[in-house]
Amino acid sequence: MQRLLPLALIAILTFAAIGCEKSQTVKDSWKFTTRQYRTYLNTPASVDLSNKGGREIYELALGEAVLSVDMELHKLVRAMENSDHNPDQNWVMSMMGRFPWLSGVALVDGSGAIVSRYPEISSRELDSTPLLQPDPKQRPGALRAYAQSGDGAEIYLANPVFGGDEMRGLIVAHFDARTLATMSSDPGSFMIVSPSGVLWPGNYSSQGGSVASADWARLLASKSSGLVGEKGSEFFWTTRYLGNLPLVYAMPTSATPQSGGNASASEGSAQPSAAASSGGMPEGQGGMVSGNVVSQEPLEAPVESGPAAVDSL
């Protein structure tokens, strides 16, 4: 390409010189040359907004259903990457206010002991052991994550804090997958799974067996999307990474986008909301589900209830 560019420029300049009449000025010649360059070499970019890129209907349906969920995860990743390495109570409370679907924030030292956490009292024990060692495929300072599957699956995302080459501790944000799912306008229409198991079943506790039983460690080693299940009852899946944790979104191939006027899940939109079908929202969370409409109550905890600055990290 680099060899062709000088030849093309020479051709244009030659064409310009031949096409110039004696009465032409240098300015006229330059305009002509510029016009030829933009016509044949550096053509203006254009975007066809009507082109769906050859995507299947079920791919568009899944993208529409998880868009707001994925955007929240992206915002959380950015906030954690930019977190202060000595977070104080104001930072903690700003995180809880910005992401009301979080279960809490914890500060952990290099041995895994909890230095401070918000809320101080929680029914769920925080096991930071899987977060202490870096993934060999990542740089040591990259975000780390893991998921606990089962009823009320919890997802943990950590930003390691270093002092020189030594890891001083972790800043951990964690959340219930059920709460995250309610960020979608149709939370029952999709599943969320990870190599550890099902994190959110949606409306597919019985029909999503092919997704739950898939060997995700093997599939994710070579693919970022695909199909699982028997023909006629297949699920389309795609992946997003939260730190080093792959989260898989899955939806039946019979699904259609909500904007098309149909239910986005093959089991119909007349069913109860996903959160209601799985036992409702986790206790103490700010999200409320009514049908397929999700509202978020602002979490306005007093600043003084958060942990103090962690100088020990």
Q: State the greatest distance between any 2 C-alpha atoms of the chain, in Å, as a whole number.
A: 88
Average pLDDT, the chain: 76
Higher pLDDT, 295 or 57: 57
The Cα-based distances of 207 to 64, 211, 234, 280 in angstroms read 21, 9, 10, 20
The Cα-based distances of 135 to 223, 279, 298 in angstroms read 19, 34, 35
- pLDDT given at position 258: 76
Residue 41 has pLDDT above 90, yes or no: no
Instruction: Give the bridge partners for 175, in sequence order.
Output: 102, 155
Q: What's the CATH class of domain 67-178+299-303?
A: alpha beta
Map out the domains of the chain as residue ranges.
9-40, 67-178+299-303, 185-293
Higher pLDDT, 295 or 49: 49
pLDDT (tens digit per residue) in 93-130: 999 999 999 999 999 999 999 988 899 877 778 889 99
* Residue 186: both structure tokens together: 């149709």
The 3-state DSSP class for residue 70 equals: helix
pLDDT (tens digit per residue) in 172-219: 999 999 999 999 999 999 999 999 999 999 999 888 899 999 999 999
- pLDDT given at position 301: 33
Check whether the bond before 119 is cis (ω within 30° of 0). yes
pLDDT (tens digit per residue) in 225-276: 999 988 888 999 999 999 999 999 999 999 888 765 333 333 333 333 333 3
- The confidence band for 131, taking pLDDT boundaries of 50, 70 and 90, is very high
Are the C-beta atoms of 158 and 143 separated by less than 8 Å?
Answer: yes
* Among the listed residues 168, 2, 176, 180, the one whose alpha carbon sits nearest the alpha carbon of residue 75: 180
The 3-state DSSP class for residue 299 equals: coil
